[in-house]
Chain A
Amino acid sequence: MECVFGLVGNDFAIVVADTSAVHSILVHKSNEDKIMFLDSHKLIAASGEPGDRVQFTEYIQKNVALYQFRNGIPLTTSAAANFTRGELATALRKNPYSVNILLAGYDKETGPSLYYIDYLATLHKLEKGAFGYGSYFSLSMMDRHYHSGMSVEEAIDLVDKCINEIRSRLVVAPPNFIIKIVDKDGAREYAWRQSVADTPAPSA
């Protein structure tokens, strides 16, 4: 029931992920951050097997950092996406990772970009993409309302439309979402959309 979706705007890219960590019928926590900073100008939103998700994305993150130290220059978003896809492909027929990834980045020369990488190592460069059961709803909303060159306000408005659609129509809809944005100033957290906050433990 994990929902991950993203879109490319005017000179930024936005990715949204639900924040529930679920095991069978139990919700471990509802503030799990599934969007990792790959480097200063890249975001990796991942969904899938929780162990694989963290292990694989951290592995990619450290290798991207190593490249930067070795070569004195960061990887482009396209290069990082292709590297990620390559790692998934290599592992696919031995010990595959069950991780679906939306990689969003901003390059000075080429602007914002979004890459769809699924667990079978499919790679697509897209303007909008989504994973999970929520994708049925978010893709439809984005198909209807998306246009290229959206401003941040318009994009967030569309993101909220998608989140509301997921909340109202998906049977086990995740309650909380996190939104992160990447633009020329770097990658950062944009906002949370919470309908259920973790209740703090009562003090003694």
Chain B
Amino acid sequence: MARYDRAITVFSPDGHLFQVEYALEAVRKGNAAVGVRGTDNVVLGVEKKSAAKLQDSRSVRKIVNLDNHIALACAGLKADARVLINRARVECQSHRLTVEDPCTVEYITRYIAGLQQKYTQSGGVRPFGLSTLIVGFDPYTGSPSLYQTDPSGTFSAWKANATGRNSNSIREFLEKNFKETSGQETVKLAIRALLEVSC
């Protein structure tokens, strides 16, 4: 098996792209992030690991703005996240410049996922080691959206999802306890989901 993960353009005999799967492993080791969509809002929560005593925790930004109406949280390699976030921010402004309108949440998700996929089909590069949760409001319909992307470049919309450490347990909790909420109720659901797995 080890012979098939050196150059990621190569499939293994049983149809795996090992580098992508190893990237997913890196995501599984990252800090938990949860997203919940309500009827009139969408909530992002991230696990904030206790920082080193001398570290200025305010300089560690885990939830970032891509545009006025779109935010992103991720789990995995934070250095890779910086690169992806920067490209996404430029794309948001580029979209506004060329079509004079803000982009939809789906558009920027498709862009980020497309970027992640490109790095699974090029020579000499490795995939981005992160999964993202992208939230925002559609500028035309005003409805809230939650999307997730992963290192393979797939993306889909979710009512609620989690990624990173213990994401399976959090997702199970959300599946059991999800209902249509709004306002503070959505926030509470997100917090309770995170509390399920943090000590």
Q: Which of B65, B92, B93 sits near A63, CB closer than 8 Å?
A: B93
Which has the most chain A C-beta neighbours within 10 Å: B65, B86, B92, B93? B93
Interface residues of B in 72-124 (CB under 8 A from A): 86, 89-90, 92-94, 96-97
Q: Nearest chain-B residue to A65 (Cβ)?
A: B93
The interface on chain B, measured as residues whose beta carbon lies within 8 A of the other chain's beta carbons, has a size of 12
Given the complex, which residues of A lie within 8 Å of B66, measured CB to CB? 69
Q: Which of B61, B65, B86, B94 sits near A62, CB closer than 8 Å?
A: B94
Q: Nearest chain-A residue to B94 (Cβ)?
A: A62
Interface of B is mostly: helix
- The answer to whether A70 touches B96 (Cβ under 8 A) is no
B79, chain A: closest CB distance, angstroms: 16
Interface of A is mostly: helix
A190 at the interface (CB under 8 A from B): no
- How does the 8 Å CB contact mask read for A41-77 relative to B, with 1 for contact and 0 for none? 0000000000000000011001101100110100000
B67 at the interface (CB under 8 A from A): yes
- The answer to whether B94 touches A69 (Cβ under 8 A) is no
Q: Which of A58, A59, A69 sits near B65, CB closer than 8 Å?
A: A69
- The answer to whether B86 touches A70 (Cβ under 8 A) is yes
State in angstroms the CA–CA spacing of A59 and B90 once bound together. 12
Q: Nearest chain-B residue to A59 (Cβ)?
A: B97
Which has the most chain B C-beta neighbours within 10 Å: A69, A70, A72? A69
Q: Which of A58, A59, A66 sits near B89, CB closer than 8 Å?
A: A66
Interface residues of B in 130-151 (CB under 8 A from A): none
- The answer to whether B89 touches A69 (Cβ under 8 A) is yes
State in angstroms the CA–CA spacing of A65 and B96 once bound together. 11
Interface residues of A in 145-176 (CB under 8 A from B): none
Interface residues of A in 66-106 (CB under 8 A from B): 66, 69-70, 72
A51, chain B: closest CB distance, angstroms: 15
B74, chain A: closest CB distance, angstroms: 16
8 closest A-B pairs by beta carbon, nearest first, are A62-B93, A62-B97, A66-B93, A69-B89, A65-B93, A69-B65, A62-B96, A58-B97
Question: Can you sample 12 A-B contacts with CB below 8 Å?
Answer: A58-B97, A59-B97, A62-B93, A62-B96, A62-B97, A63-B93, A65-B96, A66-B90, A66-B93, A69-B66, A69-B67, A69-B89
Which residues of A are at the interface with B, using a C-beta cutoff of 8 A? 58-59, 62-63, 65-66, 69-70, 72
Which residues of B are at the interface with A, using a C-beta cutoff of 8 A? 61, 65-67, 86, 89-90, 92-94, 96-97
